[in-house]
Structure 1
Amino acid sequence: MNDASLYLLFSILGVLIVLSGFFSSSETGMMSLNRYRLKHLKKSGHKGAIRASKLLARTDQLIGVILIGNNFVNILASSIATIIAIRLWGDAGIAIATTILTIVILIFAEVTPKTIAALYPERIAFPASILLIPLLKLLYPFVWAVNLITNGLLKLLGINSTANQKDHLSREELRTLVNEAGALIPKKHQDMLVGILDLEKVTVDDIMVPRNEIIGIDIEDDLDEIIRQIRASQHTRLPVYRKDMNDVIGILHLRNLAKFFTSEEKNKAILLQECREPYFIPEGTPLHTQLYHFQKQKRRIGIVVDEYGDVQGIATLEDILEEIVGEFTTDFSANSPDITPLEGNGFLVDGTTTIRYVNKRLGWKLPMSGPKTMNGLIIEYLEYIPDNPICLTLHNHRIEIKHVKDNFIKTIRVLPDD
């Protein structure tokens, strides 16, 4: 063999190794593309993303054309390398060619291109799609035949090749995606997005003002007492009931009382005219459902009732929004928080504080499947209502009951963890 023909064979071999690297990097680059970013770029009109999306719409055809091309150039490269080796070293050249070509292909046509493609999938996949689309059209009969046989084998194995074409994120996967966004999404925005995801597993029972804390107007009270209560109220909406909270007759918005206060003769009838009919919420309603109902009914406050119609508490639109954006600075209860830090000695916690709030504020993992408040959880644990202050360990947290009144744990002290 003369030098010219040997040079030609080496040149062809070099081109084939480059082509092998192209197919290897194209496969890894295409499969490594972030599908959600790809959809975003496609909607933005990015030409490379449009081409890649078209190829990825039929993954079996994409893999088929890449593997056909890759195997063709590898086999051809192996044949040419064998010819060169035999001409240079005789029959012993076969083993030499096999060893050298394996190392060369492994380094320059497999590991290196695939590593680069895995690190920079868009830089590899988008330009590669320019060649892959016409190549797919050219080799379509071969690709179709290979896929026909492959899909037939998959069906025999009980595998549907088109079952996982669509990408879907579960709620927990989306939560992880948000939390791992890092600097791409500000921490406050991450908390808001996670709060929205949590609305489905949180119910009105978790955020409502319990019945014993409801501030309302008993229409049977003396009118002067009602007026005094209205003027001293920190809330803009008050439930109006008759003797018992279970007999709620309306919701009074204080901004509608101009007519009442300007009338010469103030009476309860005028007051009742300004009340809007009560809106009731079944206990256990998920927050995302209730948010929709508030929007649909044009309401901002609802009375939570159990299956017997007894009032359990009050839930407001603000309570639901606070689950998403955090507490509002205008919240009057901020002046007397449910959890008060004690200097070097843990926290003072109100017995009506919800377990969900305690878990969020203190980073605990108290169970939320049963009682909703700390009072309920402690009583369930003790299986009796304590008469005097006692200490206990609740789910590895040391708690001291400070104040018990009317069969209700009013205040507890959370001791610092060791």
Structure 2
Amino acid sequence: MNEIPLSALFLSLLFLLVLSAFFSGSETALMTINRYRLRHRADQGHRGARLAQALLDRPDRLIGLILLGNNFVNILASSLATIIALRIGGDNAIAVAAGLLTLVILIFSEVTPKTLAALHPERLAYPAAFIYTPLIKLFSPLVILVSLIAKIILRSIGVHADGTASQTLSREELRTVVNEAGAMIPERSRTMLLGILDLERATVEDIMIPRHEVEGIDLQDPLDDILRTLHNASYTILPLFDGGVDNVIGTLHIRDILRLSRDREELSKEQLREISRAPYFVPEGTRLYQQLLNFQRERQRVALVVDEYGDFLGLVALTDLLEEIVGEFTTDPADNIPEIMRHADGGLLIDCGITIRDLNRFMRWKLPTDGPKTLNGLILDYMETIPEPGTSLMLHGHVLEILHTADNAVKTVRYRGGPLHMTEDDTATHPPPQPEG
């Protein structure tokens, strides 16, 4: 060693530091690279991505190779630094050389390359894959031995490292990915994707038209009333009753009625019964995603929701279900949603029959949806009594004034503006309701 020039030793030490930086940075890059983007690039034919994906399929061997290389390089660098210190300053310079080498390795071979790799993993991961692929084949016996010893140690403490960690995403994790996609996914598309994810959480009760609001035909009504209802119908499919909503005997399609009216001069109740189709019932609690599949399988567009006793609860239509994904075709909720109207004083009058999900969507609120399904139900659940008109309450940061109550229900409330900024005393006196569970 004494015959080797100091310049050659310094160059060798610099080369080892560069190798150490490469091992440290490439390890971080390969471990932090986005696996889904990596898989996408590999499917597109990117060679570096394919090699990186193959390496990450056996992370134990990859980590073993990187640690072998990194430790060998660092130990060799430490030995060279010791030789250089002895040549320059004797025994007294060894401690100084160790301290300086530690600082240099920490800054230039650990922190800097790892930070760069964490910020831009693909820039280093793909080139590194071309280097590690032949190295892992060349040193495979040593790598396998090291990995085997590591597995034995892990098994002794109850950890099994035979399989790779699952890379599947849960629904909530996927929701986070969609929300954080930013400009990569347009806002409208993000809303639709989140709507699809929500289909697994919502049920038909969340979007159904309640029974007291269902528009239908009762064969016990006078024929003139029936014809008037058909003329003013808002839907193309109407339930057919015989003696009230508790006795559903079928559904009527306006198309069938129009076809029948072209052939005959007058409609009769018997004709309506003949052209009616068998009702399609679904149980309450059916998830919207499952109901979407049911609609497709049964080739139906309207379903009648019943409870465990078979009682009619409401009606859910395919269009309402699809609106959970694509959203309402409106711009200003206060101008276009029947349940929400502008008041002369600038506030909003809200029909308390509106569902919580619709209110959250239109007003961009975050009221809980795992309890009562309507605003009236939420107010009664919070107040635990039927409030008098003129009562004001704060519901999850939104101040509502009750204007009208009837039939043991809150009918209309007024909303004047943004969320209430409460003081500590106000919070103690009027705590905001919290979602159940």
TM range (shorter): over 0.9
User: How many Å separate the matches in 2 of 1:343 and 1:147?
Assistant: 75
Q: Does 1:316 align with 2:317?
A: yes
Segment drifting more, 82-91 vs 2-11? 2-11
User: How many Å separate the matches in 1 of 2:104 and 2:400?
Assistant: 68
**Deviation above 6 Å: which 4+ runs of structure 1?**
none
Q: Counterpart in 2 of 1:110?
A: 110
| Residues 378/97 of structure 1: CA separation in 2 closer, same or farther (3 Å cut) | closer
User: How many Å separate the matches in 2 of 1:97 and 1:374?
Assistant: 73
| Residues 117/343 of structure 1: CA separation in 2 closer, same or farther (3 Å cut) | farther
| Residues 340/266 of structure 1: CA separation in 2 closer, same or farther (3 Å cut) | closer
Q: Counterpart in 2 of 1:121?
A: 121
| 1:286-325 equivalences in 2 (<5 Å) | 286-325=287-326
How far does residue 173 in structure 1 lie from its aligned partner after superposition? Answer: 1.5
User: How many Å separate the matches in 1 of 2:369 and 2:330?
Assistant: 27
Secondary structure at the counterpart of residue 5 of structure 2: helix
| Residues 84/383 of structure 1: CA separation in 2 closer, same or farther (3 Å cut) | closer
Secondary structure at the counterpart of residue 319 of structure 2: helix
User: How many Å separate the matches in 2 of 1:334 and 1:247?
Assistant: 37
How far does residue 267 in structure 1 lie from its aligned partner after superposition? Answer: 2.4
| Residues 96/345 of structure 1: CA separation in 2 closer, same or farther (3 Å cut) | same
How far does residue 2 in structure 1 lie from its aligned partner after superposition? Answer: 7.1
Q: Counterpart in 2 of 1:346?
A: 347
| Residues 93/409 of structure 1: CA separation in 2 closer, same or farther (3 Å cut) | closer
Give % identity.
52
| Residues 334/144 of structure 1: CA separation in 2 closer, same or farther (3 Å cut) | same
Deviations 1:369-392 (A, max 9, x none): 332112223334444445x52414
| Residues 399/103 of structure 1: CA separation in 2 closer, same or farther (3 Å cut) | closer
How far does residue 265 in structure 1 lie from its aligned partner after superposition? Answer: 5.2
| Residues 305/24 of structure 1: CA separation in 2 closer, same or farther (3 Å cut) | same
Segment drifting more, 44-53 vs 370-379? 370-379
Q: Counterpart in 2 of 1:187?
A: 187
Aligned-pair RMSD on alpha carbons? 2.3
Secondary structure at the counterpart of residue 153 of structure 1: helix
Q: Does 1:285 align with 2:273?
A: no
How far does residue 202 in structure 1 lie from its aligned partner after superposition? Answer: 1.0
| Residues 342/162 of structure 1: CA separation in 2 closer, same or farther (3 Å cut) | farther
Q: Which runs of 5 or more residues in structure 2 are unaligned? A: 421-437
Q: Counterpart in 1 of 2:99?
A: 99
User: Quick check: 2:57–2:164 contact (8 Å CA) kept in 1?
Assistant: no
| Residues 344/141 of structure 1: CA separation in 2 closer, same or farther (3 Å cut) | farther
| 1:88-167 equivalences in 2 (<5 Å) | 88-162=88-162, 164-167=164-167
Q: Which runs of 5 or more residues in structure 1 are unaligned? A: none
User: Quick check: 1:57–1:165 contact (8 Å CA) kept in 2?
Assistant: no
Secondary structure at the counterpart of residue 327 of structure 1: coil
Deviations 1:241-297 (A, max 9, x none): 101111111111101223321214532233223221101111111111111111111
| Residues 409/112 of structure 1: CA separation in 2 closer, same or farther (3 Å cut) | closer
| Residues 95/321 of structure 1: CA separation in 2 closer, same or farther (3 Å cut) | same
Q: Counterpart in 1 of 2:377?
A: 376
Secondary structure at the counterpart of residue 212 of structure 1: helix
Q: Counterpart in 1 of 2:42?
A: 42
How far does residue 344 in structure 1 lie from its aligned partner after superposition? Answer: 4.8
Q: Counterpart in 2 of 1:403?
A: 404
| 1:232-251 equivalences in 2 (<5 Å) | 232-251=232-251
Secondary structure at the counterpart of residue 276 of structure 1: coil
Deviations 1:277-321 (A, max 9, x none): 101111111111111111111111111111111111110111111
User: How many Å separate the matches in 2 of 1:95 and 1:302?
Assistant: 82
TM-score normalized with structure 2 length: 0.88
User: How many Å separate the matches in 2 of 1:398 and 1:390?
Assistant: 12
- Count of equivalent residues: 415
User: How many Å separate the matches in 1 of 2:14 and 2:407?
Assistant: 90
How far does residue 181 in structure 1 lie from its aligned partner after superposition? Answer: 1.1
| Residues 202/325 of structure 1: CA separation in 2 closer, same or farther (3 Å cut) | same
User: Quick check: 1:179–1:190 contact (8 Å CA) kept in 2?
Assistant: yes
Segment drifting more, 248-257 vs 50-59? 248-257
User: Quick check: 1:218–1:242 contact (8 Å CA) kept in 2?
Assistant: yes
| Residues 112/335 of structure 1: CA separation in 2 closer, same or farther (3 Å cut) | closer
Alignment-mate amino acid for residue 92 of structure 1:
N
Deviations 1:195-220 (A, max 9, x none): 11111111111111111111100112
Deviations 1:72-114 (A, max 9, x none): 1111121122122212222223223212322322232222222
User: How many Å separate the matches in 2 of 1:299 and 1:104?
Assistant: 71
Secondary structure at the counterpart of residue 286 of structure 2: coil
Q: Counterpart in 2 of 1:203?
A: 203
User: Quick check: 2:335–2:342 contact (8 Å CA) kept in 1?
Assistant: no
Alignment-mate amino acid for residue 220 of structure 2:
E
User: Quick check: 1:260–1:271 contact (8 Å CA) kept in 2?
Assistant: no
Q: Does 1:357 align with 2:379?
A: no
Secondary structure at the counterpart of residue 362 of structure 2: helix
Q: Counterpart in 1 of 2:8?
A: 8
User: How many Å separate the matches in 1 of 2:100 and 2:17?
Assistant: 13
User: How many Å separate the matches in 2 of 1:121 and 1:406?
Assistant: 64
User: How many Å separate the matches in 1 of 2:368 and 2:112?
Assistant: 51
User: How many Å separate the matches in 1 of 2:378 and 2:100?
Assistant: 72
User: Quick check: 2:335–2:341 contact (8 Å CA) kept in 1?
Assistant: no
Segment drifting more, 65-74 vs 394-403? 394-403
Alignment-mate amino acid for residue 327 of structure 1:
E
| Residues 344/29 of structure 1: CA separation in 2 closer, same or farther (3 Å cut) | farther
User: Quick check: 2:58–2:164 contact (8 Å CA) kept in 1?
Assistant: no
Alignment-mate amino acid for residue 114 of structure 2:
K
TM-score normalized with structure 1 length: 0.92
Alignment-mate amino acid for residue 298 of structure 1:
R
User: Quick check: 2:330–2:336 contact (8 Å CA) kept in 1?
Assistant: no
Q: Counterpart in 1 of 2:75?
A: 75
User: How many Å separate the matches in 2 of 1:96 and 1:398?
Assistant: 69
User: How many Å separate the matches in 2 of 1:300 and 1:204?
Assistant: 13
User: Quick check: 1:291–1:320 contact (8 Å CA) kept in 2?
Assistant: yes
Alignment-mate amino acid for residue 120 of structure 1:
H
